[in-house]
Amino acid sequence: RDHRNNAHFMPSSLDEWLEAWTLALDNETKAEENKQFHCYDPRNYQTSWVYNELKEDESEDLETLKHRFAVIAPFDRMDTAICTIYIQFSGRVPAECICSSKETERKLIHDKHDATHGVKHHGSSYNTTSEQDALIEKLTTDDALLYNRTVELFKGTLKKTEEEYGVKIC
Residues 6+ apart with CB under 8 A from 157: 71, 72, 73, 84, 88
Q: What is the pLDDT of residues 93-125, one digit of tens each?
A: 999 999 874 444 554 544 444 555 555 555 566
Q: How many CA atoms lie within 13 A of 76 on its CB side?
A: 5
pLDDT at 99: 85
Coil, strand or helix: which one is 111? Answer: coil
pLDDT at 35: 93
Residue 143 has pLDDT above 50, yes or no: yes
pTM, to two decimals: 0.76
When comparing pLDDT for 39 and 130, which is higher? 130
**Average of per-residue pLDDT across 123-128:** 74
pLDDT at 101: 44
Coil, strand or helix: which one is 4? Answer: helix
In whole angstroms, give the CA distance from residue 40 to residue 45. 9
Residue 71 has pLDDT above 90, yes or no: no
pLDDT at 87: 95
Residue 24 has pLDDT above 70, yes or no: yes
